[in-house]
Amino acid sequence: MADGPLPAAEYLELIARAPLVSIDLIVRDTGGRTLVGMRRNAPAKGYWFVPGGAIRKGETLDHAFARISHTELGQSFARRDAALLGVYDHLYVDNFMGVPGIGTHYVVLAHTLQITTALELPRSQHSEFRWMTPLELREHPQVHANTRAYFETV
């Protein structure tokens, strides 16, 4: 059974001492466009970024994928329905609490997920969502470099 989310102070201590392992969701529609959201929170606040989230201690990859997809997309998807794109390092100079001197390091398991149905997208992490073409993702100045990197290999 997975542990729940850590209290903010403990999560910050973890970020200060170790990398986080996360899953990013490269969600594509039938037209080949990819879903991105405008980040509300640090790190990557104010940038277009793909949905995703951290894996919790004791959580299997399958459970994490279902939980993160539900939290970020409003609907649970199974990891078996996605394809692993690759493993990426995301390094940030800031953290979710804005505490100076503590950067954030994610080791990201990026997955592509093809969808054919409409999504009811939650707004807790993103202020707005947009479907972008591969060209827009590579060229839009507000697409974060870590998201852009996914489309250099596609």
The pLDDT tens digits of the residues spanning 12-65 come to 999 999 999 999 999 999 999 999 999 988 999 999 999 999 999 999 999 999
Whole domain around residue 17: which residue ranges?
Answer: 8-151
Is 113 a domain residue? yes
| Nearest CA-CA partner of 105 in 120, 87, 92, 119 | 92
Count of the separate structural domains present in the chain: 1
Is 3 a domain residue? no
In the predicted structure, residue 1 carries a pLDDT above the cut 60? no
Between CA 136 and CA 148 the distance in angstroms is: 10
**What's the whole-model pTM score?**
0.93
Taking all residues of the chain, what is their mean pLDDT, rounded to a whole number? Answer: 94
Is 2 a domain residue? no
Query: What's the CATH code of the domain at 110?
Result: 3.90.79.10
Is 107 a domain residue? yes
The SS3 of residue 6 is coil
CB atoms within 10 A of CB 101: 8
Is 52 a domain residue? yes
